[in-house]
């Protein structure tokens, strides 16, 4: 409540430009426009992949009208135009914020330029922080030079306080020794359903198919089963840990990652075709599950950052049926354990919904509040 009062009483204004108005972007715009008055936030621009609207003094749109306003615009999105216009709005007492709700490499590549010109960046887009180290270092340098901030809580765990927890641990002098977790909502759902510690159960292909029908996977499930999403999240976290900050020169591609895509299905471009062929490999997954259940264990697709050994990996692991990864997860939950010097005997655990537009947009919105 106190923080909301601080926001309401601030004398600063925040000019907010939103790029990406899909599920997460749409939900963020709804949360922003529903913020209680008097609000320090002024929405000055909206951009989809097809059109854009811009008004330096603030758009006159509401929760119910912004979609029509954007759809009726004949202006095409232009990132260079946006860069110039937003930079011109930066002045004392007036912060400018780019909220990137896309998963675009093109937008991510421009972060250093936006930051250098004093534009803050808030985003759930993992690309800039999990790609090659040089881009990340350029982002850090540009932020340091201008004082503009980049905040990316929603890149890991949607609305869960994972990055902020890690930052707080490190800033207060704790030493992180290990982070392990189930970082993918999709993989969480698949293995919560497939591997329960009991013998038998649904086939792997049918669980993946159900997950796809429920909207838990990408249209092409291989985009989840390749483990790249988990590798990206591990990259983002590892770069906040001082001994590992430059451990991954090629970003997520430097992470040791176990793909669950059968090699024979690697080149299939169609999600429908992939789902049709996946049952051919059920026996392999059944065997893995049977071996785990014989040991009193479950299968979980986990990410591990071991600071002492420098190991950063995304892999299919076995955990005892009494382990929190077996007992605490439901649906598409994420769970992350922080092992540190202070939290030595019992790790600090963050658990909850790790996917979904509303909670991801909440993570983005909470980052916006941190600027106030």
Residue 6 has pLDDT above 80, yes or no: no
Residue 147 to residue 144: CA distance in whole angstroms: 5
At 22, is the pLDDT very low, low, confident or very high (cuts 50, 70, 90)?
very high
Is 276 annotated as a binding-site member?
no
> For 27-68, how does the pLDDT look when each residue is reduced to its tens digit (9 = 90+)?
999 999 999 989 999 999 999 999 999 999 999 999 999 999
Least confident interval from 146-150, 160-164, 197-201, 226-230: 197-201
Answer whether residue 318 shows pLDDT above 60: yes
Whether omega for the bond prior to residue 176 falls within 30 degrees of 0, making it cis, is: no
- Asked, as a colleague might, if the bond just before 23 is cis with ω within 30 of 0, I would say no
**Does 26 show up as a binding residue in the annotation?**
no
The Cβ of residue 105 has, within 10 Å, a number of other Cβ atoms equal to: 12
User: Catalytic site residues?
Assistant: 233
Cβ 47 vs Cβ 16: under 8 Å:
no
For residue 1, pLDDT over 70 is answered with no
What contacts 109, CB < 8 A, 6 or more positions away?
128, 135
pLDDT band of 199, cuts 50, 70, 90: confident
Instruction: Name which of 236, 368, 210 is nearest 312 in CA terms.
Output: 236
pLDDT tens digits, 91-120? 999 999 999 999 999 999 999 999 999 999
Name, in order, each residue with C-beta under 8 angstroms of 203's C-beta and a sequence gap of 6 or more.
Answer: 279, 282, 285, 286
Q: What's the whole-number mean pLDDT along residues 152-161?
A: 95
What pTM was computed for the model? Answer: 0.94
Residue 10: strand, helix, or coil: coil
The C-alpha atoms of residue 24 and residue 362 are separated, in whole angstroms, by: 9
Phi, psi of 366 (to 5 degrees): -65, -30
User: Terminus-to-terminus CA distance in the chain, angstroms?
Assistant: 14
Q: What is the mean pLDDT of residues 186-207?
A: 95
Q: Distance between CA 262 and CA 240 in Å, rounded?
A: 33
User: What is the overall mean pLDDT for the chain?
Assistant: 95
Flag whether 33 is marked binding. no
**Hey, what domains does the chain have and what are their CATH numbers?**
7-158+359-370 (3.40.50.720), 162-353 (3.30.360.10)
Is 102 annotated as belonging to a binding site?
A: yes
Q: Is 20 annotated as a binding residue?
A: yes
Res. 142: pLDDT tops 60: yes
* Local confidence band at 214 (pLDDT 50, 70, 90 cut-offs): confident
- What pLDDT does 356 receive? 85
pLDDT(9) > 80: no
Give me the percent of the chain exceeding a pLDDT of 70: 98
């Amino acid at each position: 409540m106190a923080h909301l009062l601080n926001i309401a009483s601030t004398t600063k204004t925040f000019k907010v430009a939103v790029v990406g108005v899909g599920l997460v972007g749409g939900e963020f715009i709804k949360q922003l426009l529903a913020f209680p008055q008097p609000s320090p936030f002024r929405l000055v621009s909206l951009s989809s992949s097809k059109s854009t609207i811009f008004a330096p003094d603030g758009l006159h749109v509401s929760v119910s009208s912004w979609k029509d306003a954007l759809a009726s615009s004949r202006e095409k999105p232009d990132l260079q135009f946006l860069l110039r216009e937003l930079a011109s709005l930066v002045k004392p007492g007036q912060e400018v914020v780019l909220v990137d709700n896309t998963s675009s490499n093109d937008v991510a590549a421009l972060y250093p330029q936006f930051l250098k010109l004093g534009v803050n960046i808030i985003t759930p887009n993992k690309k800039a922080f999990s790609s090659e180290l040089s881009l990340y270092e350029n982002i850090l340098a540009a932020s340091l030079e201008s004082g503009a901030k980049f905040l990316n809580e929603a890149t890991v765990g949607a609305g869960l306080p994972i990055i902020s927890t890690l930052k707080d641990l490190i800033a207060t002098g704790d030493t992180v020794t290990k982070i392990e977790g189930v970082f993918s909502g999709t993989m969480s759902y698949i293995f919560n359903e497939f591997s329960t510690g009991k013998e038998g159960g649904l086939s792997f292909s049918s669980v993946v198919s159900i997950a796809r029908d429920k909207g838990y996977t990408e249209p092409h499930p291989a985009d989840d089963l390749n483990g790249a999403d988990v590798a990206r999240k591990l990259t983002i976290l590892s770069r906040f840990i001082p001994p590992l900050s430059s451990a991954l020169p090629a970003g997520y591609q430097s992470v040791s990652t176990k793909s669950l895509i059968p090699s024979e299905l690697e080149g299939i471009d169609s999600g429908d075709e992939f789902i049709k062929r996946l049952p051919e490999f059920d026996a392999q997954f059944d065997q893995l599950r049977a071996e785990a259940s014989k040991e009193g264990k479950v299968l979980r697709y986990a990410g591990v950052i071991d600071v002492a050994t420098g190991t950063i990996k995304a892999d299919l692991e076995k955990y005892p049926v009494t382990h929190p990864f077996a007992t605490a997860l439901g649906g598409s939950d994420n769970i992350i354990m922080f092992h540190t010097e202070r939290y030595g005997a019992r790790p600090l655990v963050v658990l909850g919904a790790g996917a979904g537009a509303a909670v991801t947009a909440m993570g983005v919105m909470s980052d916006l509040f941190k600027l106030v």
